[in-house]
């Protein structure tokens, strides 16, 4: 039963993101700025830092693939971005201490990195013509602020859940 908690959490976060985007679309995108919920990235980052690396990579790949197929319909972008981010986070966390403040900041940093990378890719593919200044004002900064709030709320419970399950699986 306890083994199901992480997959279930991943599913709820993944589906919840699109339902949230729909229900609060007026608040998230209706104004002059775009606030993109990135709970999936927060989940993957915390799984990488506090869980086992292998599972984290697997979840990053599967969630990225699902994100591409189900939401954006352009395959490859997030399938590539999520595992690469997970890999880089795991490398960085070998040097840094894994307390909540630092992992929160690293997560936020990687949300910014993913946003910027996806923006560059969209420029390349011709899905947008917004210049970088507008992108950072319209989308990047508001998105980071929204996700900072998410991180502050979810960091502690997320860490506890992942760590307790990890202890479990190592004990077996």
Q: Which letter does DSSP use for residue 172 in this model?
A: -
Q: Within 123-142, which residues bind another protein (CB under 8 A)?
A: 125-130, 134, 138-139
| Selected range binding another protein among 52-60, 69-77, 93-101, 150-158, rule: CB under 8 A | 69-77
Distance between CA 162 and CA 99 in Å, rounded? Answer: 14
Q: What is the DSSP string of 96-140?
A: S---HHHHHHHHHHHHHHHHHHHHHHHHHHTS----HHHHIIIII
CA 85 to chain centre: 9
- Nearer to another protein among residue 50 and residue 119 (C-beta): 119
Number of continuous H segments (helices) and E segments (strands) in the chain:
8, 0
Neighbours of 42 (CB within 10 A): 23
Q: Within 81-120, which residues bind another protein (CB under 8 A)?
A: 118
Q: Within 22-61, which residues bind another protein (CB under 8 A)?
A: 22-23, 25-26, 28-30, 32, 34, 36-37
- Nearer to another protein among residue 24 and residue 156 (C-beta): 24
- Nearer to another protein among residue 50 and residue 67 (C-beta): 67
Q: Exactly one of 3, 7, 76, 145 binds another protein (CB under 8 A); which one? A: 76
Q: Does 148 bind another protein (CB under 8 A)?
A: no
Distance between CA 169 and CA 155 in Å, rounded? Answer: 21
- Binding stretches for another protein (CB under 8 A): 11, 15-23, 25-26, 28-30, 32, 34, 36-37, 66-77, 79-80, 118, 122, 125-130, 134, 138-139
């Amino acid at each position: 039963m306890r083994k199901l908690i992480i997959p279930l959490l991943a599913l709820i976060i993944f589906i919840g993101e699109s339902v949230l985007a729909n229900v609060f679309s007026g608040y998230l995108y209706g104004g002059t700025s775009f606030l993109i919920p990135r709970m999936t990235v927060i989940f993957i980052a915390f799984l990488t830092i506090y869980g086992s690396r292998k599972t984290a990579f697997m979840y990053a790949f599967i969630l990225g693939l699902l994100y591409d197929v189900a939401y954006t319909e352009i395959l490859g972008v997030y399938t590539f971005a999520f595992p690469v981010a997970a890999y880089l986070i795991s490398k960085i966390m070998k040097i840094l201490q894994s307390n909540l403040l630092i992992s929160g900041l690293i997560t936020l940093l990687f949300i910014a990195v993913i946003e910027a990378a996806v923006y560059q890719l969209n420029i390349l593919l011709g899905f947008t013509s917004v210049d970088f200044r507008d992108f950072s004002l319209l989308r990047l900064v508001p998105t980071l602020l929204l996700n900072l709030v998410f991180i502050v709320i979810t960091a502690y419970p997320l860490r506890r859940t992942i760590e307790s399950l990890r202890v479990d699986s190592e004990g077996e």
